[in-house]
Structure 1
């Protein structure tokens, strides 16, 4: 975090990233003194309503964040910023997205938690667009021209007013991560999931201890669950009410319940009852301390791909253990009529031996399994996400023999095929991985 005093004193000359959050109501003109170096400008958490017409003077600007401000219109001046590729205006009051506001190199657009009812047709002209985050708006449709965005990989559509998914979604050759919960098209299925009977665990039975983690949708605590005869260590997730980048916390709760039981999924034990503030919560099995995140989330530079530790390497056995467990978990979820929506390494917990758990249902979405065509299409989108994961694992795998390398490379290529229905099913993926595990065991 920087200060206006630093900016005015010239102490920030040459910096590439500027972060100012100090109740600004006007764009500080002193920012233009950084035009020779500034690439990332973060003005989130202020009270801005506009940007200056001469913003393009920041000729090296690649990323702008103006979340939690008071914009009602996406500024048209953004469209004249030639180097700008990432635009983030989360949690404003934006209703109007003018055609002129879209920069030519747009790669990543964040309009989460606004009041947008319609997007301009020329969004489909953004050939570099990879991530489109629109959760928490009032969209009833999307421009058909988005079918032209062949690089589009991640779309967040949760908590809008969509009655159906557009057909062109399934023509996008690289669509990998899709979220649409909290729309009329899936409301009935979400309500049914929330009504699935779970054991009610009275708040008085829980001795809540330290905070284990905080996500966009809630807080996770370590706790002790007391019954008549025993005390069991558990995790308790208390959901927030706020919109997240993926969607509504209540939809995540429904997904967590619907996921059911599988050895490679985090397990839900019951639903919190009688919370003193009526907060929704779930009690889950406590994940052992030897589990750790497989990777970190995407960076501004990587955009859609996770970031691994530079030294991260896997043995063939560990790599195949992780891949097989996650493919099986994904297959299980789709059998329940649910796509994870965020099948990424950063949402996978692993041990040194390759035990793996797929977690975080914040982007999960439901569909009717009796609609076989839709089910097959949505599953194949998730297959591409698995293909990206498998590609990352194989790249970091030591000592693979030539035959295994060829088989895994072929499986990755199959998962990443541009034609959705040419990709394998998760059942086929699981079968191939189990066969490779057997071959690896014999070779060892």
Structure 2
């Protein structure tokens, strides 16, 4: 009986350890001052809707950061130090005032998803050329960017699987069939004619959502 109790106690201890690790990984910091107390433990950092003032030295302390959002921070330029955080997998830059992304963003070789929503002043061709250099980028958000067509630079992407073009001004389905790695295209909130929407039943090789 004692052996059984020891077994249950051991299982309980291991479960708590695993659960605690998961909780720590999923914890999202919304305060820079709190995050900087133990920056090496920060996995998710949400600094959206803030007036941020972060030095390069502070950015480089987040050695395990995987998720970062700077949404609606009125940034005119992206801090270059962010491009040195190699652990980043998700980056949300929506709702800022920059024209293009720095070339150095191609250093984020582990980046899988980027949000560039509500960026109506962005130079999209240059931005796409820069992003196309990211080897693991699988998901791109260009929602509510006042787009009516996609520049040819979109065809430079080598690993893109999901493309979100919601709430733009497309009147027809963008011609991206040559991107044979695309799995999902979101066109909700565009002015796609009903007869063109019926084309989603054709074999494009990827799913389209209207």
* Cα gap change, 1:11 to 1:55, in 2 (>3 Å): closer
* RMSD value, Cα: 3.2
| Cα distance, 1:2 vs structure 2 | 2.4
Residues 53-68 of structure 1: pairs in structure 2 closer than 5 A: 53-68=80-95
Partner of residue 89 from structure 1, selected from 97, 116, 119: 116
Q: Distance in 2 between matches of 1:157 and 1:65?
A: 20
Indicate whether 1:157 and 2:187 are aligned: yes
In the superposition, the TM-score normalised over structure 2's length comes to: 0.67
* Cα gap change, 1:24 to 1:117, in 2 (>3 Å): farther
Residues 388-403 of structure 1: pairs in structure 2 closer than 5 A: none
Gaps of 5+ in 1: 180-444
- What does the per-residue CA deviation read over 1:227-248, in whole Å, with 9 as the maximum and x for residues that have no partner? xxxxxxxxxxxxxxxxxxxxxx
In the superposition, the TM-score normalised over structure 1's length comes to: 0.34
Alpha-carbon contact 2:84-2:107 (below 8 Å) kept: no
- More RCO (CA 8 Å, sep 6+): 2
Q: Distance in 2 between matches of 1:119 and 1:27?
A: 34
- What does the per-residue CA deviation read over 1:297-349, in whole Å, with 9 as the maximum and x for residues that have no partner? xxxxxxxxxxxxxxxxxxxxxxxxxxxxxxxxxxxxxxxxxxxxxxxxxxxxx
Q: Distance in 2 between matches of 1:11 and 1:56?
A: 21
Q: Secondary structure at the match of 1:172?
A: coil
Partner in structure 1 of residue 59 of structure 2: 31
Aligned residues: 175
| Cα distance, 1:110 vs structure 2 | 0.8
Partner in structure 1 of residue 14 of structure 2: none
Q: Which deviates further from its counterpart, 41-50 or 80-89?
A: 41-50
- What does the per-residue CA deviation read over 1:189-234, in whole Å, with 9 as the maximum and x for residues that have no partner? xxxxxxxxxxxxxxxxxxxxxxxxxxxxxxxxxxxxxxxxxxxxxx
Gaps of 5+ in 2: 1-28
Alpha-carbon contact 2:49-2:71 (below 8 Å) kept: no
Q: Secondary structure at the match of 1:64?
A: strand
Residues 22-421 of structure 1: pairs in structure 2 closer than 5 A: 23-24=50-51, 28-29=55-56, 30-34=58-62, 36-73=63-100, 76-97=103-124, 98=126, 99-102=129-132, 103-139=134-170, 144=175, 146-160=176-190, 165=196, 170-173=202-205, 175-179=206-210
* Cα gap change, 1:133 to 1:148, in 2 (>3 Å): same
Higher strand share: 1
* Cα gap change, 1:170 to 1:82, in 2 (>3 Å): farther
